[in-house]
Amino acid sequence: MKMKRLSKKIIGYRIFLGFFISLFPALLVIIMMETSEKAVLILVSLAVFVLLFFPQVLFAILYQKYSGYLLTEKEVISIRGVLFRKKSNLLLSKIHAVNKKQGLFQKLFSLASLHIDSGSTNTAALEEVVIETDEKEIDRLYELIKTGHTSSSAEVMQEVEFKDTLFHFSGKGKFSYILLNAISFLLFSIILFFLISIVYYIFPDEGQAPNLMEGIMLAGYVSCGALLLFLIGEALAVCFKYHHFEVKKKAEELEISYGLFVRVKNTFKLSRIRAVEITSTFFQRLFGFVAVKLQVIGYVDGQENGAAIGVLIPLCRRKDVNQHLQEILPDYCTLNPEFKSKSYFPFISYWLMFTGILLLVFNLILWGAAIAISRYDILFYGGLWIDGILLFCLIGKCISALLEKSYTGIGYDTDKIVLYRGGFHQECSIIKLKNLISIEDVTTVHRKKKGIHSYVVHYRTNAFKNEVKVHMLEENLYDELQKLIQY
Amino acid sequence: MGKGEERKMKKLDRNVLKVWYIRKIILSLILIAGYIATIVCIQENVLLLAVVLGILLLILVVPLLIWPILQYNRYQYSYDERHIVIDSGVIFRHHIVIPVRQIQDLHTIQSPFMLLFKISGIIISTAGSNFSISAVKAEDGKQMVEDFENYLNDRLDEDETAQ
């Protein structure tokens, strides 16, 4: 069977992008170059533009000519690249996720791209097959592949419409999301304010006496400016990232769609979900909010494609989370933690020791530096800074440990295990028992005598982080947890 | 497999201590060379500087040199048809039981120093995480990998029969 060529609109699209990519450096040359000869300036920038633009035009034409795809009953094949050509074959039965993406500029040219992933661990950060062509063709391929890969035999399943939207990220939710992030950033702005004031006071401009008022005013302008910029940026980012965020479900598949400039539609089988994580930052928790994420095999946490591919619910009320999960993923509702953390002091004991050693080492380095360059004033300022920062971190750790002690726990039934952990940033992971690999026991000599153990749960996923740690629990819990693992 | 069940644990090959000590000694020598170079280059307050940096050096180098023997004493492993058990760690003591049926692939690694002393490390990859047995005799390592493969095939056959 003959490979299908990509749409010729690709050439126009890539030339369009190439034009702006080449224009920017050419304009930069005009701005940066210091010469009074206008003719020379124009010639040089034109030369830069042509040198950058021409290869992109050539590449666009060759890319369209030599790239293609083919969809058969059994597999999908794509060929891409000009200098480095890549041919990808992917059996339809191995496809675990099909995603359609359309950027703003692609929309102008009625183009879209289809990203097909097999769930291979080695290429978890990339999709195996990417086809970029006419939007209508992409829609046709999308429907064909979804229908084709959900059937176990040659029979084609009846097309079933997705149910009504199970979750929609409303404007109110987005506003709360922006506000909570802004409150977090406010803390940073306050620290920035004090930092600038103190630095301005300690290190005034040359020849001038230290002026606290001026320092405070400058610090005020900078930190307010930073907060305002953050607010505007965050508002725009959230609106673009979570534009029309919807979750739909059909039989054994989940569809999550979102995005304004790049519209993304992720479809994956429910069986590919390895774990569900309910997370909340300190400020989210203060106001009773959480976020829900998915660990899906084949996708790496933190991918840069708008909203992370595994975000199920960007933000919702804590009291509503089980209701949402009941509608979308009933197998992943939370359980109460039967086994809670036993003791507080172990959460900070090693931190105290570690901070003490760090304090000693840093102060010795300071002394060494002060003696070496004969500047003993740096002992005072440096000591104040370093010791102050370490003390601040230690106080933060003590508060975090208090929160962690009250929240940490494990609950399980015949089907799943639920792990609660975290201090300022809290996480609850729900993992099906069939996805458990092993449970690691971690303790120290002293903790073992008190019957205090930490457990590291290793589970089946191909994210970079494949384990969940839960601290300071009962010793006899280990034998109970071992029974959950199939040997 | 609970902790209460008895099993015969094996220790790592003694040659691994030589490998670990060689690495730590090289690192210590670099730190000492840095210390001496600093003292030689700085002209003022040499004695005071030497004392301060000397204390810092002791804090860094002494643990480096005693750590390998502590690590070696704590490290034990064992395996059978269904389980691989690894006990390790000095301050934080780790105990893990890995089901043989979860093995995805096995790797044997040898650094130049390990080649010199005819030892190798085994890395056991599962669908979740990687686990390692730091150093065994090279022939024992080969045998171990073969054993794991045979046990894994038996587990997979068992699963097929059960289905």
The 10s digit of each residue's pLDDT in A194-212 is: 878 777 766 666 666 666 7
- pLDDT confidence tier of residue A342, bands split at 50, 70 and 90: confident
Does the distance separating the beta carbons of B128 and A440 come in below 8 Å? no
Does the distance separating the beta carbons of A458 and B129 come in below 8 Å? yes
Note the pTM of the prediction, 2 decimals. Answer: 0.77
Does the distance separating the beta carbons of A365 and B92 come in below 8 Å? no
Angle, alpha carbons A55-A58-A62 (nearest 5°):
135
Q: Report the residue from A372, A440, A462 with minimal CB separation from B49.
A: A372
The answer to whether residues A223 and A196 touch, using CB atoms and an 8 Å cutoff, is yes
Does the distance separating the beta carbons of A482 and B2 come in below 8 Å? yes
Residue A465: its pLDDT value, please? 61
Does the distance separating the beta carbons of A485 and B56 come in below 8 Å? no
> What mean pLDDT is predicted for residues B40-56?
78
Which residue, A416, A92, A485, A119, is CA-closest to A272? Answer: A119
Residue B93: its pLDDT value, please? 94
Q: Report the residue from A441, A460, A461 with minimal CB separation from B95.
A: A441
With an 8 Å Cβ cutoff, is A360 touching chain B? yes
Which residue, A143, A443, A424, A107, is CA-closest to A281? Answer: A424
Does the distance separating the beta carbons of A438 and B96 come in below 8 Å? yes
The answer to whether residues B130 and B8 touch, using CB atoms and an 8 Å cutoff, is no
Kind and range of the H or E element at A21?
helix A9-32
Please give the residue of chain B at the shortest CA–CA distance from A461. B128
Average pLDDT of chain B is 86
ipTM over 0.90 threshold: no
Does the distance separating the beta carbons of A487 and B101 come in below 8 Å? yes
User: pLDDT (tens digit, 9 = 90+) per residue, A404-445?
Assistant: 999 999 999 999 999 999 999 999 999 999 989 999 999 999
Please give the residue of chain A at the shortest CA–CA distance from B86. A440
> A149: left (phi > 0), else alpha (psi -120 to 50), else beta?
alpha
Please report how the helices B46-74 and B15-41 are oriented relative to each other, as an axis angle in degrees rounded to 10.
170
Please give the residue of chain B at the shortest CA–CA distance from A459. B128
Residue B3: its pLDDT value, please? 53
B91 vs A contacts (CB less than 8 Å)? 350, 444
Residue A462: its pLDDT value, please? 60
Tokens 């002791």, residue located:
B58
Res A135 pLDDT > 50 = yes
**What is the DSSP secondary-structure string of A29-92?**
HHHH---S-HHHHHHHHHHHHHHHHHHHHHHHHHHHHH-EEEE-SSEEEEEE-SSS-EEEEEEG
User: pLDDT (tens digit, 9 = 90+) per residue, A75-120?
Assistant: 888 888 887 777 777 777 777 778 888 888 898 999 999 988 765 5
Does the distance separating the beta carbons of A438 and B126 come in below 8 Å? yes
- pLDDT confidence tier of residue A157, bands split at 50, 70 and 90: very low
Residue A368: its pLDDT value, please? 79
> What mean pLDDT is predicted for residues A361-366?
82
Please give the residue of chain B at the shortest CA–CA distance from A468. B128
Please give the residue of chain B at the shortest CA–CA distance from A483. B1
A360 vs B contacts (CB less than 8 Å)? 59
Please report how the helices A377-407 and A345-373 are oriented relative to each other, as an axis angle in degrees rounded to 10.
170
Which residue, A29, A22, A23, A25, is CA-closest to A44? Answer: A29
Please report how the helices A38-66 and A9-32 are oriented relative to each other, as an axis angle in degrees rounded to 10.
160
The answer to whether residues A274 and A461 touch, using CB atoms and an 8 Å cutoff, is yes
Does the distance separating the beta carbons of A448 and B52 come in below 8 Å? no
Residue A311: its pLDDT value, please? 86
User: Which structure tokens are listed for A424?
Assistant: 């300022």
With an 8 Å Cβ cutoff, is A461 touching chain B? yes
A486 vs B contacts (CB less than 8 Å)? 99, 101
With an 8 Å Cβ cutoff, is A440 touching chain B? yes
Q: Report the residue from A444, A467, A487 with minimal CB separation from B1.
A: A487
Res A30 pLDDT > 70 = yes
